[in-house]
Amino acid sequence: MLNEKQYFPELLNCKICPRNCSSNRYSGKLGFCKSGSDSGVVSVCIHKGEEPVISGQKGICNVFFGHCNMQCVYCQNFQISNNNNNLIFLSFANVIEKIIEIIKSGVNSVGFVSPSHFIPQMKYIINELGNKGFKPIFIYNSNAYDSVVQLKSLENYIDIYLPDFKYFDNKLAEKYSDTKNYFELATLAIKEMYRQKGSSLVINDEGVAESGLIIRHLVLPDNTENSIKLLEFIAENISRKVSISLMSQYFPCNKSSYYFEINRKLLKQEYEKVINTLEKLEFNKGWIQNLNSSENYLPNFIEANPFKKKKLSF
Ligand code: SF4
């Protein structure tokens, strides 16, 4: 029987993410992410729409954390990521029970989605699964706005890092995601992930990744320069051998209608320009998402399975 009143001392003076709010998450005065000391998990479900090596044939057990340490105006998960929304969090016991149920159905990968502000809770969940004899492949799926100190503490917990490296241009990060110094901080985080995993992606006989790093990048409408400079930076400062997952699934939702330039889907010529850069830079490992997949990725967290009926493709 799990004790629901878990005590996480790091939350008394919270520096779990680069915002360094120093807030006491056991008090009513919360920090930027408006997150407290509960599990933080709002949904646990099978998802088949990640990169082929992540989802495999059977899908991945995704564990979605609520609220976020960034606030992207175009976030597709806005139902759960908006820090002003009152969310109902699952109990730890319920989270662990749901994960085990999915693992027993034959899914052996567990992905933590938006975990950057709930790392102590995530580690607790991983430890409890281990205590019960479950050691699936653990995937850390973040916005890359991660604390290097926290990432170092994950070295023996996480098998695959799956950061979305969003911005080269800090002005865009401030404008669209209410986040300062994104590029410098995300670079430090991704360099730490790279230090831990390097550029090789270990794939098993079933075609499922077991260890490594995949850098995602979502291309935004009207902002191809941001994507091109970011890819050039990765090639020159991290590695051309790292796996890149280029995403075209942008769909104007949440508050994107306030920004006319991103209040539309990505154009074919915009996406091709970025793909050409990827090829020119000689990245040769990774995935390019189909351009027509944008609506297929919109989840609905009111459903028990937010991705039900979605046709997903990379
Ligand atoms: S996790 Fe939340 S409270 Fe803690 S530093 Fe980050 S934004 Fe602030």
Is 69 a pocket residue for ligand 1 (Cβ < 6 Å)? yes
Q: What whole-number distance in Å separates Cα of residue 79 and Cα of residue 65?
A: 11
Minimum CA distance residue for ligand 1 atom 2: 33
Quick: pLDDT tens for 124-142.
999 999 999 999 999 999 9
- 16 close to ligand 1 (CB < 6 Angstrom): yes
Confidence of residue 312 (pLDDT cuts 50, 70, 90): very low
pLDDT for 314: 47
Cβ of 32 below 6 Å from ligand 1: yes
Higher per-residue pLDDT: 1 or 179: 179
Q: Which atom of ligand 1 is nearest to the CA of 118?
A: 1
All structural domains of the chain with their residue ranges: 36-297
Q: Cα separation of 66 and 87, whole Å?
A: 7
**Pairing outcome for strands 209-218 and 243-247:** parallel
11 touches ligand 1 (CB under 6 Å) = no
Place of tokens 């933590």: 112
What pLDDT, on a 0 to 100 scale, did the predictor assign at position 299? 66
Instruction: Quickly name the fold that domain 36-297 has.
Output: TIM Barrel (3.20.20)
- Atom 3, ligand 1: residue with shortest CA distance: 31
33 lines ligand 1 (CB under 6 A): yes
Distance 15 CA to ligand 1 centre (A): 6
Please give the average per-residue pLDDT across 84-98, as a whole number. 96
pLDDT at residue 309, rounded to an integer: 47
pLDDT digits (tens, 9 = 90+) for 254-305: 999 999 999 999 999 999 999 999 999 999 899 999 887 766 666 666 666 6
d(Cα 81, Cα 86) in Å, to the nearest integer? 10
Among 238, 202, 222, CA closest to 273: 222
Q: Which of 2-11, 215-224, 253-262 has the lowest mean pLDDT?
A: 2-11
Q: What is the pTM of this model?
A: 0.94
Report the share of the chain in percent with pLDDT over 90. 89
